[in-house]
Amino acid sequence: MTPKGGQTSTLAGRRRQQVTIRHVAADAGVSLQTVSRVINNAPNVRPEVKQRVQSSIDKLGYVPSIAAQRLSGSRSYLILALNDRDRTIADWRERQGADWVDQMLLGGMLKVAEYGYRLMFELVDTHDDHVERELRATLAALQPDGVILTPPHSENVQITSLLQEVGIAFARIGSVQPGAGVALSMDEEEAAAMATRHLADLGHKRIGFISGAPEYSLSNRRVSGWQGEMKRRGLAVKGMLAKGDFSFESGVSATKALLDLKEPVTAIIASNDRMALGALAVAHERGLEIPSNLSLLSFDNTPVVRFTGPPLTAVDQPVADLAALAVEMIIRVLRKQEIPHQPLIVEAGLVKRSSTAPPRAA
């Protein structure tokens, strides 16, 4: 005879052991596939069986897993976001206030919730010779319905070809190239032109530009936007483009080169916040006041630039908006709905702070 309260004790023990779909199937006296069909609200389950399974789920306190949802062959309701491993880990370790991942998760998670999906975040090394094998293993383990690719993954042919081969819907953030998947990007050229206009309208004529890593196509698009606006205004660009790679150190060396010109620049646009911090360090080291002696403008608008001395004017990347749009487009593909003409372009903003001002009169 079971002592009073014995059933409650047994259920508590099961919860401690993690209740699985097998426990539910055994308790309800049905197959694993039947439980999965109930979990996925499939139409081909008799009402009395559905009620029995649901009662077992409620009694055991079972929380359906992704694996259980897949047993019936239905969607996983999971979208996977892939970011570059090396750069992401470097950002986290340096703790310099970069919030690309935060903003991506903010936009992506809020949007997937509207559709009853979940978002997972994974790091993959785009430079690894075994990137295809690594990605295949990730897809096999998680079985996502869709994938969001961020730069440089979004333009890695190995990755995009694999996703196309296995038939997974995907979006390419930061890419404007034709091809499989949905391409969407910030308007990089217009963002750089907007930054240049801001400085030129203040009266600057010698506006230097620090480019980003060449493996990112957006780096070249930003350079094109700066060059185009400079030429439209009849301003010289020769010698005022300095190469960077998005690192602090490259910002330092590029700024030194721009300030060591025979006619030094009076303003600098850096292609990301980290290089702008390098430029700021050089200015302080040389005793240059920002913005009295040198105006400084950055890309990204991560939290750190709000607390520098002085706070930096910055192009504000709409990362959350891009991630949300990527989710929406993937779900449209899954639902076989029409996709707008590509690439989809999201406008950037310019946040004006105290690092930019008219140049000091000679």
**Strand pairing class (207-210; 267-270):** parallel
Q: Measure the CA dihedral 342/343/344/350, to 10°.
A: -160
pLDDT at 61: 84
What pLDDT is recorded for position 9?
45
Of the pLDDT bands very low, low, confident and very high (cuts 50, 70, 90), residue 198 is very high
* pLDDT value, residue 130: 79
β-pairing verdict for 182-186 and 241-242: unpaired
| pLDDT of amino acid 281 | 97
Q: What is the pLDDT of residue 231?
A: 97
Check pLDDT > 50 for residue 284.
yes
* The two three-digit tokens of residue 12, written as one number: 């508590």
pLDDT at 64: 65
Would you say the CATH fold of 188-317 matches that of 78-186+319-347? yes
Average pLDDT over residues 196-205: 98
Kindly report, residue by residue over 301-313, the tens digit of the pLDDT.
999 999 999 999 9
**Which range is least confidently modeled, 22-36, 214-228, 229-243?**
22-36
Between 35 and 1, the more confident residue is: 35
Boundaries of every domain in the chain: 6-70, 78-186+319-347, 188-317
**How much of the chain is helix, strand and coil, in % rounded to 5?**
45, 15, 40
Please indicate whether residue 91 or residue 332 has the higher confidence score (pLDDT): 332
Say yes or no to pLDDT of 116 above 50: yes
Identify the pLDDT of residue 4.
46
Q: Is the pLDDT of residue 58 over 80?
A: yes
Higher pLDDT, 130 or 169: 169
pTM of the predicted structure, to 2 decimals: 0.76
pLDDT in the model for residue 215:
86
> Domain 78-186+319-347 maps to which CATH number in 3.30.565.10, 3.20.20.70, 3.40.50.2300, 2.60.120.620?
3.40.50.2300
C-alpha 27, offset from chain centre: 43
What's the rounded mean pLDDT across residues 328-336?
Answer: 94
Q: Which fold has domain 6-70?
A: 434 Repressor (Amino-terminal Domain) (1.10.260)
- H or E, element range at 209: strand 207-210
- Give the sign of the dihedral formed by CA 201, CA 202, CA 208, CA 210: negative
As a whole-number percent, the residues of the chain with pLDDT over 90 amount to 64
307 sits in which H/E element: none
Residue 280 above 70 pLDDT?
yes
Query: How far out from the chain centre does Cα 298 lie?
Result: 19
Residues of the chain with pLDDT > 70, as a percent, come to 90
Please say whether the beta carbons of 122 and 88 come within 8 A.
no
**Rounded Cα distance, 212 and 202, in Å:** 25
Per-residue tokens: 278: 């390098």
Tens-place pLDDT, residues 62-110: 876 655 555 555 678 899 999 988 888 887 887 777 788 899 999 999 9
Task: Look up the CATH number of domain 188-317.
Answer: 3.40.50.2300
By the 10 Å C-beta count (0-12 exposed, 13-18 middle, 19+ buried), 362 is classed as: exposed
What confidence category does residue 187 fall into, taking pLDDT thresholds of 50, 70 and 90? Answer: very high
Which residues lie below 8 Å from residue 97, measured CB to CB, with a gap of 6+? Answer: 273, 302, 303, 304, 305
Q: Does pLDDT of 186 surpass 50?
A: yes
Average pLDDT, integer, range 161-185: 93
Whether 128 has a pLDDT exceeding 90, the answer reads no
Mean pLDDT of the chain: 88
